[in-house]
Amino acid sequence: MLSKALQIFVVVLFMAVPLTGCASTKGSVNYNPDYEERIANDVAQRISNANALFEDGEYRTAERIYQGLLDEYRSTDGSIETALLTNICMIYLETGERAKFKDCAEKLRKASERLPYLSREAQMVFELDGALGDDDSKGKDIRIESRISGGLNEVFKEGR
């Protein structure tokens, strides 16, 4: 269930975020609409492939694709990094890799600092990170909706 929401979130995010706000780390390119469209199509295809692999339980291959995109592209506000890191965090949750999850959640926290709003998935990652954490000094992120934190608190309280 969470994986489907993650898949929809990533596809919607990459359709909503114009790649003109991104920069490839491979060098600068003058504005060219055809080039921008090819890049957007390539990114969308790679994300679609990674999402399908994630759904099929091919977590390591999906992680490599997400990481490759993370290494290749940057956004001015951190939105692309936030989406990709959220996906990688979800992989670590699925595979039970707590230390990697916590490390990735910290990277996600830094990448999303400039965003006024967080996706539901990112909010859940932060809440789960807090529930799994040993460090309460981070404080409450006001971008996390009360229904998400309340719902997760109820689940943890009841031991489900």
Q: What is the DSSP string of 9-51?
A: HHHHHHHHS-GGGEEETT------HHHHHHHHHHHHHHHHHHH
Please tell me the distance from the alpha carbon of residue 83 to that of residue 80, in angstroms, as a whole number.
Answer: 5
Distances (CA, A) of 74 to 78, 79, 82: 7, 9, 10
Find all residues with CB under 8 Å of 89, minimum gap 6, and list them.
Answer: 101, 104, 105, 108, 125
The three-state DSSP-derived secondary structure of 102-147 is HHHHHHHHHHCCCCCCCCHHHHHHHHHHHHHCCCCCCCCCCCCCHH
pLDDT of residue 108: 97
pLDDT of residue 111: 96
Backbone angles phi and psi of 78, in degrees to 5:
90, 5
Report the predicted TM-score, pTM, of the whole model to 2 decimal places: 0.70
pLDDT of residue 30: 62
pLDDT tens, N- to C-terminus, the chain (160 residues): 444 444 444 444 443 343 434 544 455 556 677 888 898 899 999 999 999 999 999 999 999 999 999 999 999 999 999 999 999 999 998 999 999 999 999 999 999 999 999 999 999 999 888 888 765 545 566 666 776 667 766 766 665 5
Please tell me the distance from the alpha carbon of residue 41 to that of residue 26, in angstroms, as a whole number.
Answer: 18
pLDDT of residue 10: 47
pLDDT of residue 158: 62
